[in-house]
């Protein structure tokens, strides 16, 4: 029964996250942006439906203090490779790095 519930919840999360994506380039007109502003926008577009608009958690865990639990590299690894119900590569490349840096500062 536990395996069935895990499968159902994992499948529901994967379907929900598949609908979340749709990044894109978030640079402003002059080609630059602050890491924090860019990261917040990327997070809002790709992560907030599961982790909450204010990092409070929803279907995914809260991230309000994730930087006190995980390093930037550990956060980036989770974003890139998924795990514990989170599918890999919801965001990637520079976007993933920006979000990992921003989240690592949440203590």
- The kind and range of the H/E element at 2 are helix 2-18
The SS3 assignment for 86 reads: strand
**pLDDT band at 19; cut points 50, 70, 90:** very low
Q: Is residue 27 part of a domain?
A: no
**Tell me, what's the pLDDT at 77?**
96
- Which residues are CB-neighbours of 16 under 8 A, at least 6 positions away? 49, 50, 59
In this predicted model, which residue has the larger pLDDT, 44 or 21? Answer: 44
Round to whole Å and give the CA distance between 36 and 16.
Answer: 26
In this predicted model, which residue has the larger pLDDT, 103 or 17? Answer: 103
Domain count, the chain: 1
pLDDT, mean of residues 66-75 = 97
Q: Is residue 55 part of a domain?
A: yes
Round to whole Å and give the CA distance between 88 and 13.
Answer: 12
- Average pLDDT value over all residues in the chain: 80
Range of the domain at 10: 2-20+33-104
CATH code for the domain of 95: 1.10.760.10
User: What's the predicted TM-score (pTM) here?
Assistant: 0.68
Q: Is residue 10 part of a domain?
A: yes
Total Cβ atoms within 10 A of residue 35 = 14
Q: Is residue 28 part of a domain?
A: no
């Amino acid at each position: 029964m536990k395996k069935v519930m895990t499968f159902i919840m994992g499948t529901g999360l994967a379907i929900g996250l598949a609908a979340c994506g749709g990044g894109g380039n978030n640079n402003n007109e002059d080609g630059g942006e602050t890491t924090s502003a860019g990261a917040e926008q990327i997070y809002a577009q790709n992560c907030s439906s599961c982790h909450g608009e204010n990092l409070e958690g929803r279907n995914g865990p809260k991230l309000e203090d994730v930087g006190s639990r995980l390093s930037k590299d550990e956060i980036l690894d989770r974003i890139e490779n998924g795990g514990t119900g989170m599918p890999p590569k919801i965001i990637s490349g520079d976007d993933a790095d920006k979000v990992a840096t921003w989240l690592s500062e949440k203590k």
